[in-house]
Structure 1
Amino acid sequence: MKHFPIFLAVEGRPIVVSGGGEAALAKLRLLMKTEARLTVIAAEPIAQIAALAAEGKLTLIRRTQQPGDATGAALFYAANDDPVEDGRGTALAQTDGALTNWVDNLEKSQFITPAIVDRDPVTVAIGTEGAAPVLARAIKADLEERLPASLGILARVGKAFRAAADALPMGQRRRAFWSDYYFRAGPQTLESKGEDGLDDALGTLLAQHLRQSDQPGRVTFVGAGPGDPELLTLKARRALHEADVVIHDRLVTPQILELARREATLIAAGKKGFGPSMAQAQIDALIVEHALAGAHV
């Protein structure tokens, strides 16, 4: 990856946009979904941008960009549709210490803005490093259809309940509770009782899970085939995603191991002629050890 995907905290922080035309307006429509403090620098802004300023949604500075305008800014966008002015503004903002994006100029940008699927607080970001914007838009359109608008409601209510859910021990039992909420109890309650019923549903669900004893460990054997992750069955993918411990031989490719949870323990237990090896008895003992500890192996 040439660009590392991150989510930047911008609440209450300034973001500066240089430009007052359609390119700047398009960027502002996205930025206004955040809780950042927006400033637009433009000598002759179009009417829509001026109207946003009049409504108090941003600060409008009616002049060209000057040194110091981007000091303290979390992000800076050059969106003048003028390569000379965008180049000048980008240089000034970098001198001011801001991370800069020159709209539609990947090589001159220090960061890029991905295609976004917004189900606040659930956000999906899609990037192709500028290689295939059409593909990014197609993926976005597909996800927009797949992810229901109610997803954000479930996540927002669930977030407020996280402290209460900490009564469950960290690990498998807590994951089971949240899976039960997001994929069964939550959607069912939202459909039958609406958002107002979610708090009671969470309380009832937590009480049920607190009464349950620790689940025994279990072992799932997954055949990795020739090493192509696309040839794995859906059940195999789900097992890898849910596993606490993944014990694998040397024939399992890195692409398949990428399907495991980041928190999972990965243990290489392969055999190699005239090289480091683990006896089958050791592998069996390792599987039993982790399963007896309650892990999904």
Structure 2
Amino acid sequence: MKHFPIFLAVEGRRIVVSGGGEAALAKLRLLLKTEARITVVAEAPIADVEALASKGRLTLIKRALEPGDAMCASLFYAANDDDGEDARATKLAQADGALTNWVDNLGQSQFITPAIVDRDPVTIAIGTEGAAPVLARSIKADLEARLPRALGILAHVGKTFRRAAEALPMGRKRRAFWSEFYDRAGPKAFDEGGADGLNKSLEGLLKKHLCAKAEDGHVSFVGAGPGDPELLTIKARRALHEADVVIHDRLVTPEVLELARREAVIIDAGKEGFGPSMKQTEIDALIVEHASNGAHVVRLKAGDPTVFGRLDEEIDAVNGAGIAFSIVPGITSASAAVASIGQSLTKRDRNASVRFVTGHDMKGYAEHDWRALAAPGQVAAIYMGKKASRFIQGRLMMHGAPPDTPVTVIENASRPDQRVLECRLASLPDDISAADVTGPALILYGLLPRAALALAHELKEEIAL
């Protein structure tokens, strides 16, 4: 992020615009929505700029910018439609200590103006750091259509009621009050009685929440998916938005954690196979401790919490403490991995079942029904099998699996740095080692990427001919 988004207080402060043509007028239409004192410096302003000055909307100085004109200005815009004059004006304004924007020149600007959705006092700023202005406008149009017409009025009335709402304790209870007002009670009251009915609605709602019993803590076991935040369910996003505490696995990506509420406490409870780990009993105690204090705890697990996530142990701990819980399933990495190679986990006349197995358990390398797995046509998704690959290879071949059985290793499934390794069982551990697979990897036993499979069929047909 090269530009840090902020909302600058400009009430009563100077904003200076150098230029009086169409480019300047376009900026003025936006700047005049603020409560700043606008000064325009231009030798030959167009009629529309003159008209704004005559109405007292801005101060107009009819000459070229001079040293000192931008003194004490909070912001400065160079909008002369002339590169030479804009360069000169920008240099003068910077010498006066103003933050400068050279219109349509990202490289020479100290700040940029985002696309803005205005539901005063609700303001949404959309920026693309100059990379895609058309995209920013498209997002703005979409938000304009989605946001309710009464949003600004609700925010204005809510602002005047904030002191009264401080009777509610800070945190979850106060958030619940405002959420109900903005999501349900406020829009309903406005539709039924207009702005006049909003204060009465707030007063009734406050009494309801003051008398309401304090909510007990709750634990949501949430699947974070394989890493791509776009693969999160809507329910998972809502849980992250509402969480007071998020306790997450090592494999949960920063992009997913970014979706948690800003004020939430984020706790890394990472566990690593054959490596340093937080003990399961410590994780259980953390969950229970925070939920017992009335927090909404999201236990965020990579993939799906019901697949090799030790979910039952954590549920037992929560149940034992008398704490309510819910489970929000996620996309397991096997689904993301097989989709990334254009295959399916099951296929008619190939395999009527698929096995989800783990490469290791609490006692070390995990044992399975290797004879059944080594039978022709079997497909398995092997989790946590990277470090156990030589053990898995040995067990399968010992029980009759052909050395040329196709195996695909997907590292960082669904993420931007995803890698796909096409292997055969005979070379599996060596291929993983040679590729220096360091990220989380899932092994698809019995499957090749669709493109590789098609190529193999073509070669086979050529050989037959």
Counterparts of 2:235 and 2:274, CA distance in 1: 35
Match for residue 156 of structure 2?
156
Match for residue 242 of structure 2?
242
More strand by share: 2
Equivalent position SS for 1:145: helix
Counterpart amino acid of residue 131 in structure 2: A
Match for residue 35 of structure 1?
35
Counterparts of 1:62 and 1:274, CA distance in 2: 75
Counterparts of 1:103 and 1:229, CA distance in 2: 35
Counterparts of 2:223 and 2:186, CA distance in 1: 33
1:275 Cα offset (Å): 4.1
Match for residue 127 of structure 1?
127
Counterpart amino acid of residue 84 in structure 2: V
Counterparts of 1:25 and 1:207, CA distance in 2: 49
Greater displacement, 221-230 / 53-62: 221-230
Counterparts of 1:120 and 1:89, CA distance in 2: 32
1:280 and 2:280 aligned: yes
Which protein is bigger by CA-based radius of gyration?
A: 2
Q: Deviations over 1:2-29 (max 9, x none)?
A: 1000000000000000001000000000
Match for residue 173 of structure 1?
173
Match for residue 253 of structure 1?
253
Equivalent position SS for 2:223: coil
Equivalent position SS for 1:262: coil
Equivalent position SS for 2:220: coil
Structure 1: gaps of 5 or more residues: none
Q: Deviations over 1:140-189 (max 9, x none)?
A: 11011001221000011001100000000001000000001000100000
Match for residue 62 of structure 1?
62
Counterparts of 1:277 and 1:215, CA distance in 2: 33
Equivalent position SS for 2:73: coil
Match for residue 213 of structure 1?
213
1:40 Cα offset (Å): 0.2
Q: Deviations over 1:248-296 (max 9, x none)?
A: 1101000010010111001111112454311111111111110010000
Counterparts of 2:290 and 2:134, CA distance in 1: 46
Q: Deviations over 1:20-55 (max 9, x none)?
A: 100000000000000000000011100000000000
Match for residue 14 of structure 2?
14
1:228 Cα offset (Å): 1.2
Equivalent position SS for 2:267: strand
Q: Deviations over 1:97-140 (max 9, x none)?
A: 00000000000000000000000000010011110111011101
Equivalent position SS for 2:109: coil
Match for residue 202 of structure 2?
202
Match for residue 86 of structure 2?
86
Higher relative contact order (CA 8 A, sep 6+): 1
Counterparts of 2:63 and 2:8, CA distance in 1: 29
Counterparts of 2:275 and 2:159, CA distance in 1: 49
Greater displacement, 274-283 / 174-183: 274-283
1:182 and 2:182 aligned: yes
Counterparts of 1:190 and 1:225, CA distance in 2: 39
TM normalised by structure 2 equals 0.63
Counterparts of 1:222 and 1:132, CA distance in 2: 34
Counterparts of 2:155 and 2:226, CA distance in 1: 38
Counterparts of 2:153 and 2:194, CA distance in 1: 10
Q: Provide the aligned C-alpha RMSD in A.
A: 0.7
Counterpart amino acid of residue 208 in structure 1: K
Counterparts of 1:254 and 1:76, CA distance in 2: 36
Match for residue 295 of structure 1?
295
Counterparts of 1:7 and 1:276, CA distance in 2: 43
Counterparts of 1:218 and 1:168, CA distance in 2: 20
Counterpart amino acid of residue 132 in structure 2: A
Counterparts of 2:62 and 2:255, CA distance in 1: 52
Equivalent position SS for 1:65: coil
Counterparts of 1:148 and 1:263, CA distance in 2: 26
Equivalent position SS for 2:30: helix
Counterpart amino acid of residue 78 in structure 2: A
Counterparts of 2:126 and 2:180, CA distance in 1: 28
1:72 and 2:84 aligned: no
Match for residue 399 of structure 2?
none
Q: Deviations over 1:200-225 (max 9, x none)?
A: 11001000000012100000000112
Equivalent position SS for 2:219: coil
Counterparts of 1:272 and 1:156, CA distance in 2: 50
Counterparts of 2:224 and 2:14, CA distance in 1: 49
1:3 and 2:3 aligned: yes
Counterpart amino acid of residue 152 in structure 2: G
Greater displacement, 4-13 / 225-234: 225-234
1:230 and 2:234 aligned: no
Equivalent position SS for 1:286: helix
Equivalent position SS for 1:74: strand
Q: Percent identity?
A: 75
Equivalent position SS for 2:24: helix
Equivalent position SS for 1:198: helix
